[in-house]
Amino acid sequence: MPLFVKPGRLLVILTLLLLTTALHASDPVRIAAASDLRYALDDIVQLYREAHPDAAIEVIYGSSGKMTTQIINGAPYDIFFSADIAFPLQLKDKGLTTTEPVVYAIGRIVIWSNTLNAASLTLEDLTSDTIARIAIAQPSHAPYGLRAKEAMQSTGVWDAVQSKLVFGENIAHAAQMAESGAAQVGIIALSLARFPELARHDHYLIDNALHNPLTQGYVVTRRGGNKSEALAFAGFMATDKVHDIMTRYGFVIPE
């Protein structure tokens, strides 16, 4: 039997459909990203926009652990770039992802200072009385902070520097503390030390054998699976141009 809709009701239905489509089209792709990506991902988003001028993308930076908790609690993120692939895997196990977690880079940590010649410093030097404050990201929820802790434990200096440690909410905050002088030294991401403003000062690359690898992974969330733009941006991460940007900031691209 044919279904007939009165003209007035049909107008209302069409108007609602148009409004829904317009709202969906204007809804930006929201990316939650680990703070070590602050400069590299900004460059990647800019490159993506050059090819897709109409793309609406918002990036929020923070600590991987806290952002994982936010997504579990319903935060409206479409893509999650973590500094530790363990967090995207955790979301997958909870049924909160559309795609499988993908490794996009391996990170590194460095000793950096705004006032000292960090290139000549080692982890053992951090016990010196001449160094009063050392900034690291909070190990409980920031992978870069945890790796800094592991490296100091491996070299036997962790207990000796406890009274000197000041903790940033994330690795970008720890870098800011070192840059501002709130700490004389920071153990920060190589990707941040490569940013031109910070690269004016030398750094010391910490041996990655001293800590667990910073295997970084991303995933499209269940919410993002409904957005073609989110899936397109995720695919863009595998391009050579993106890899060139990541390499420039000191990330190791897995084969």
User: How do residues 191-219 score in pLDDT, each as one tens digit?
Assistant: 999 999 999 999 999 999 999 999 999 99
Number of Cβ atoms within 10 Å of the Cβ of 153: 14
Residue 27's pLDDT band (boundaries 50, 70, 90)? confident
Residue 1's pLDDT band (boundaries 50, 70, 90)? very low
DSSP letters for 115-131: SS-GGG--GGGGGSTT-
Give residue 13's pLDDT: 47
Q: Is the pLDDT of residue 253 over 90?
A: yes
State the average pLDDT for the chain. 91
Q: Which two tokens stand for residue 167?
A: 């903790």
Residue 9's pLDDT band (boundaries 50, 70, 90)? low
User: How do residues 126-172 score in pLDDT, each as one tens digit?
Assistant: 999 999 999 999 999 999 999 999 999 999 999 999 999 999 999 99
Q: Is the pLDDT of residue 4 over 70?
A: no
| Residue 165 backbone dihedrals phi, psi, to 5 degrees | -75, 135
d(CA 182, CA 138): 16
Global pTM reads 0.86
Q: Which two tokens stand for residue 236?
A: 């863009």
Is residue 24 classed exposed, middle or buried when 0-12, 13-18 and 19+ CB atoms within 10 A define those classes?
exposed
Q: Is the pLDDT of residue 236 over 50?
A: yes
d(CA 103, CA 109): 18
Q: Helix crossing, 86-93 with 64-72: angle to 10°?
A: 10
